[in-house]
Amino acid sequence: MSNIAILSVNHQLAPVAIREKVAFSQSELAPAISSLLSTQEIKACVVLSTCNRSEIFVTYDAENIREVLTKFLASTHGIEYSSLLQYVSYFEGNQAIEHICNVAAGLDSLVLGEPQIFGQLKEAYQFSKDLGALDKILEKLFQHAFKTAKKVRTDTSIGSSPVSVAYCAVKLSEKIFT
């Protein structure tokens, strides 16, 4: 039976310098996914890499998956495993489901409610799907997260105002300089 896990390095724990070190460029995504899938422990995966987070979503059959994922991230980006640990968040089972829903809805974003993450998550999902890197469990997880995010945006006022880091910076500048 496969389990769900997410390893995250994001704006909540990691400074920009660390987030930049663990980021995956577009050309690095396919080799990273292929490398993850080549391990016995990982059955399916999606890699999300944005300016504020790098996250690895997997289904797995192993007891040490947190260590496997953290070591992968560290070795892939030339970082000491022990120094990366303090910046890593790990979620499994129901916590993983809650986390991906929060991310998709923009509730875990630097700017609460920003909608860009939804599109970025959909792109990461589609990229893995195109590579054949998904299983039924991850497929259902992402579909659930997308439905939940849409419901949050339509049933709450979180999507009623334009929000992004750039938008907030412009508004703050207007207040300071006018």
Angstrom distance (rounded) from CA 67 to CA 44:
17
Angstrom distance (rounded) from CA 117 to CA 55:
12
Bridge partner residues of 56 (DSSP): 7, 47
**Which residues, other chains included, contact 143 with Cβ-Cβ below 8 Å and sequence gap of 6+?**
none
Q: Per-residue DSSP letters for 99-163?
A: HHHHHHTTTTSSSTT-SHHHHHHHHHHHHHHHHT---HHHHHHHHHHHHHHHHHHHHSSTTSS--
Bridge partner residues of 4 (DSSP): 59
Q: From the centroid of its chain, how far is CA 144? A: 15
Catalytic site positions: 51
Whether the Cβ atoms of residue 129 and residue 44 lie closer than 8 Å to each other:
no
* C-alpha torsion sign, points 149, 153, 88, 84: positive
